[in-house]
Amino acid sequence: MRIIDVKAPGGPEQLVVAEAPVPRPGHGEVLIKVAASGLNHADLYQREGKYPPPPGASPILGMEVSGTISELGEACDPRWKVGDPVCALLAGGGYAEYCVVPAGQCLPVPANIDLIDAAALPEAVFTVWANLFEPPRLSAGETLLVQGGSSGVGSTAIQIAHAFGARVAATAGSTEKVQFCLNIGCERAFNYKDDWFTAARDWSQPRGIDVILDMVAGGYFPKHIELLAKGGRLVHIATQRGTAVELDLRAVMMKRLLITGSTLRPRSVAEKTALRDSIERQVWPLVAAGKVRPIVYSVLPMSQAAEAHRLMESSRHIGKILLRMH
């Protein structure tokens, strides 16, 4: 099969098409003939040599795919059949014509979603669900600020939170992206190149913001502490502006704040399966109803993987960039 290989740690030019054996599904796994793979920032970090895959995971890039089941491993969940259209969350291996994945990390592709577009769903939906809803950190009627609302995770968070009855605001990096956030469910959206802090503070008066989903960290941290309401929750899922922050614990104690965060990739198959089950019960009906949809900016052939990574690094995109594998 064809894969995208990283010749050596470095820039997008290190990505090349190569050949590798088709993997075989093990106990409880399925083999997927990959239709498309979604790009994530973690792929860029892994390409640069800064984010190795977890022990036992495929060294091939790619953490989410869509496609059809090609083979079932031993003791596989009997719900799955050869030929079923699925999308799946991976620990690695998605930039390939075939990949193996635990059956518990697969979701059926809803009838109203194109098979290629479905590759834009798993990583974003699992991330949003694991950080905002399982355990529950956001309730109907509360306010949510999403930093980076035009990203794959950001756009998914906006849609799911809006569907569950939260009041949502977001930041984005251009007038076009701000309007996009408003179009998919935001009550307000702010250009982060302007004074987003004052705008967000004014929007959230008199209480403050209940939940902030943050991909930025760094210098944004003290601003988030100030914006949060009493009992507010600050949830970190990335650190684009640095991991070191300063914190006056008095603000945390006086406001009774919860500061948390998580990563998804190293979690156990059992944890990811439990998330999958909850997502299928509570989010997948919203996808089937068109209330939550994959936002796809561009679909490129696997031969243009380097161009896809350059596009992601440029931050011009809105939503997800996908690689078509066949």
Does residue 101 share a domain with residue 22? Answer: yes
Does residue 283 share a domain with residue 228? Answer: no
Does residue 241 share a domain with residue 145? Answer: yes
CA distance 294 to 121: 6
> Which of 303, 238, 247 has its CA nearest to residue 18?
303
Does residue 254 share a domain with residue 269? Answer: no
Q: Is the peptide bond before 59 cis (omega within 30 degrees of 0)?
A: no
CA distance 183 to 1: 41
Question: How many helices, marked H, and strands, marked E, lie in the chain?
Answer: 10, 15
Number of domains in the chain: 2
Crossing angle for the helix pair 175-183 and 152-163, nearest 10 degrees? 30
Question: Which residue range is the domain that position 194 belongs to?
Answer: 126-261
Report strand pairing: 64-72 vs 85-89: antiparallel
Which of 261, 276, 307 terminates a domain? The answer is 261
Which of 261, 279, 304 terminates a domain? The answer is 261
- The CATH number of whichever domain residue 189 belongs to comes to 3.40.50.720
Does residue 34 share a domain with residue 15? Answer: yes
240: tokens are 């684009």
Does residue 150 share a domain with residue 78? Answer: no
Does residue 115 share a domain with residue 7? Answer: yes
Does residue 64 share a domain with residue 30? Answer: yes
- The CATH number of whichever domain residue 50 belongs to comes to 3.90.180.10
**Would you write out the chain's pLDDT as a tens digit for each of its 326 residues?**
999 999 999 999 999 999 999 999 999 999 999 999 999 999 999 999 999 999 999 999 999 999 999 999 999 999 999 999 999 999 999 999 999 999 999 999 999 999 999 999 999 999 999 999 999 999 999 999 999 999 999 999 999 999 999 999 999 999 999 999 999 999 999 999 999 999 999 999 999 999 999 999 899 999 999 999 999 999 999 988 888 898 999 999 999 999 999 999 999 999 999 999 999 999 999 999 999 999 999 999 999 999 999 999 999 999 999 999 98
Which of 261, 287, 303 terminates a domain? The answer is 261
Does residue 228 share a domain with residue 116? Answer: no
Does residue 215 share a domain with residue 138? Answer: yes
Does residue 115 share a domain with residue 133? Answer: no
Does residue 270 share a domain with residue 257? Answer: no
